[in-house]
Structure formats: C-alpha cells, structure tokens
Amino acid sequence: MLLKVFRGTTPRVIVLIILMLGALWIRAFFDPQLPGNAVYETSPMPLYMILKFLLGVHPLPGVIFSFLVLSLILFLLINFNTTVFFINERTFFPAVIYLLFNALFPENQVLNPVLPASLFLMLALIRIMDAYRKPGIAYNFFDAAIIISIGSLFYANLLWFGLLVIIGISLLRTGSIKEIAISVLGLATPYIVAVGLFYVLGMDLLKFFADIKFNLFGETTGFTFGRLTIIVLIYSALMLLISLGFLMMQLSSKKIKSRKTFYLLLWGFGISVALYFALPSVSVEMIWITAIPASYFLVHYFVFARKKIFPEIAFTGFLLLVVLIQVFSFF
C-alpha cells in the first residue's frame, strides 16, 4: 500500500514528501549539532571555509542551509529522470528513497560540504547526459568537469568523480581526444583560478596545497556504528544487491539512452563505494553521494518488479527502520 502511494505523481505525493522531509529533519532543527572533527572540518576547502564563515558559529543556520540544499537535490533527482526518462516512468519516488537513505545517519544532518558537492554532482550528471547525440564537439563535458571541480572546492573527494566525465565521453561519444582534453581543462580551471586568487591576495599557497592533500588522503575521525544502524545498513545492502541484479537482467532490453544513463550511474556508485573503502579521508558522509545512484536503482526495482508483495514489504520495512533510527536519535 505504501509503495503504491509513494510511486504516484499526484499532488498528494508531493505533500507526503514535504511532510517526510520535515519529520526526518525535526531533530536536527530542535537540537542542532555542531559538525564533528572530520578531515573537511579541520582543514576546510576554500568554498566550504567561506560558507562556514558566512553562516557563523551557531549550528542552526548550517542546518537550515543543508535542509535547503537537500530540498534542491530532491527536485533535481526527480527532474533528471523526468528529462532523460531512463526509468521509463514519471515518479517522485527517487526523492523518497534518497531521503530515507540519508536519514540513516542523523549525525550527517548538520552543516557539511558533501551536500553542496552532491548538488554539483547532480548538475554535472545532467550536463553529461545532455551531450547524448549532440553533433560536433560537445562542450557539455567541459561544463560538467568545471561543475565537479567547483564542487570539490567544498568537498575535495568529489574531484575523483571527474572520472565520470571521461566515462561519459566513452559512453556517449566516439572518444574524441578534443573532448577529453577540454574535460581535463575543465577540471583544472577552478583550481587555476583559486591559485591565482590566493597569489593575488597574498594568501599561503603552500597551506592551500597541503589542505587539498590532507582532504584527499588524510585520516578522518572514525565513525561508531550502532547496532540498529548496522542492521539497517545490512538490510539496505541486501535491497541494493537485489535491485542491481534486477537492473542487470533488464539493461539489454532498454533503449540506448536509458542503458547509457544507468551505466553512468553504475560507475558513479562504484566510484563512491571504492572511495569509502580505499581512502581514510572518507567516512559515512559519502552516503550523500552514494545515495544518488542507489536511489535510482531501488526505484527501478520497486517500479518494475512483477511480484509487488516483496517490494512492498521491503520498502515498508526500510521506512520503519529509518523511522526507528530517527526516534532513537532523540535519546
């Protein structure tokens, strides 16, 4: 029943999403917390440092900012599928799944650089897919590379997702050397501008380079997983494995653009998981990024699975477990 309701496209679903968003963030507003001691907090990247300065030391403005950025990401998640139409059904459901994934960690509902970085990643994905069947040199890849690079000036590890631009070229184009070259230039441009500004303003360039290195390879504070969180993560992983297996069986029957979009999302998902396990600077904040492709995989399964009983039980169980995590976070 719940699955059928949230899969719809009526105004009622929009109201439910707004209510869910408010309910899952109510603790963050009533008891706003300061960010932890992650790498990106101890040595913030330039744009995140400016953001922190503008929002001040009180945690509530940071929570409000994060809430607004999340709302914009939810809109883009829906719009991306509506525009590219790779799931082949117009639905608000990606926003619901994304909300639930990120409510797994109430500790992340604070000011953090990963949310604005996730917003930039969504914009880059949209720009990459706009290059599909575009004649001549597609400058979309240059734009996408710049967007990702700007996002990395909030959260440095987004820079690794510059690989998605090259992957996008290989998926959508014939592998033009010019497009690869301008994409690399796009990734470099915001950093060239930043170095120039640091130099002109007489700021410490060596510290800037050291901060980049520390944000990419430094060791962040370890996250302690509670028992309930571990249970929900295992539950989520099983749902993801099922949805990925289902997607693989369905890919060959999809239209070319839909297939390529899912391949791009699969690469994005793989990069995010690899970064979590490979880099000591990455912790549970990566869920903001990983949940973008993961939400689409789950939505695809929930929408197209023939037997609706198991998806209904799986979604309802996931929703209830996330609610339990949020309730326990009050105590």
- The domain ranges of the chain are 20-328
DSSP for 137-160?
--THHHHHHHHHHHHHTTSGGGGG
d(CA 197, CA 195): 5
- Only one residue has tokens 């500790």, namely 107
Output the pLDDT for position 222: 77
Mean pLDDT of the 257-282 span: 96
Mean pLDDT of the 297-324 span: 92
Output the pLDDT for position 82: 92
User: Percentage of residues in the chain with pLDDT exceeding 90?
Assistant: 82
Output the pLDDT for position 135: 76
Using DSSP, how many helices (H) and how many strands (E) does the chain show?
15, 0
Q: Which of 85, 136, 62 is nearest to 260 (CA)?
A: 85
Instruction: Average the pLDDT over each of 8-22, 44-58, 280-294 and give the range with the smallest value.
Output: 8-22
**Which helix (H) or strand (E) element contains residue 203?**
none
Q: Which two tokens stand for residue 145?
A: 């590379």
Output the pLDDT for position 204: 92
Output the pLDDT for position 175: 65
Mean pLDDT of the 146-154 span: 98
Mean pLDDT of the 114-139 span: 91
Q: 245 CB contacts (<8 Å, ≥6 apart)?
A: none
d(CA 250, CA 40): 39
Q: pLDDT at residue 191 above 80?
A: yes
Output the pLDDT for position 10: 85
Mean pLDDT of the 159-164 span: 97
Cα distances from 309 to residues 30, 88, 242, 323, in angstroms, run 37, 21, 14, 21
Output the pLDDT for position 92: 94
Q: pLDDT at residue 120 above 80?
A: yes
**DSSP code of residue 223:** P
Reduced to 3 states (helix: H, G, I; strand: E, B; else coil), residue 36 is coil
Reduced to 3 states (helix: H, G, I; strand: E, B; else coil), residue 41 is helix
- pLDDT, averaged across the chain: 93
**Which helix (H) or strand (E) element contains residue 253?**
none
Output the pLDDT for position 157: 97
Better-scored residue on pLDDT, 269 or 1: 269
Handedness of CA 65, 70, 75, 80 (dihedral sign): positive
Output the pLDDT for position 133: 82
Cα distances from 206 to residues 17, 45, 213, 300, in angstroms, run 46, 13, 11, 47
Q: pLDDT at residue 294 above 70?
A: yes
Output the pLDDT for position 223: 84
d(CA 121, CA 150): 10
Q: pLDDT at residue 8 above 90?
A: no
Q: Which of 137, 121, 21, 31 is nearest to 80 (CA)?
A: 121
d(CA 140, CA 267): 19
User: Percentage of residues in the chain with pLDDT exceeding 70?
Assistant: 99
Mean pLDDT of the 94-108 span: 95
21-56 pLDDT per residue, tens: 999 999 999 989 888 889 999 999 999 999 999 999
Q: pLDDT at residue 259 above 80?
A: yes
Instruction: Average the pLDDT over each of 10-14, 162-166, 173-177 and give the range with the smallest value.
Output: 173-177
Angle between helix axes 309-328 and 93-102 (nearest 10 degrees) is 40
| CB-based contact 186:165 (threshold 8 Å) | yes
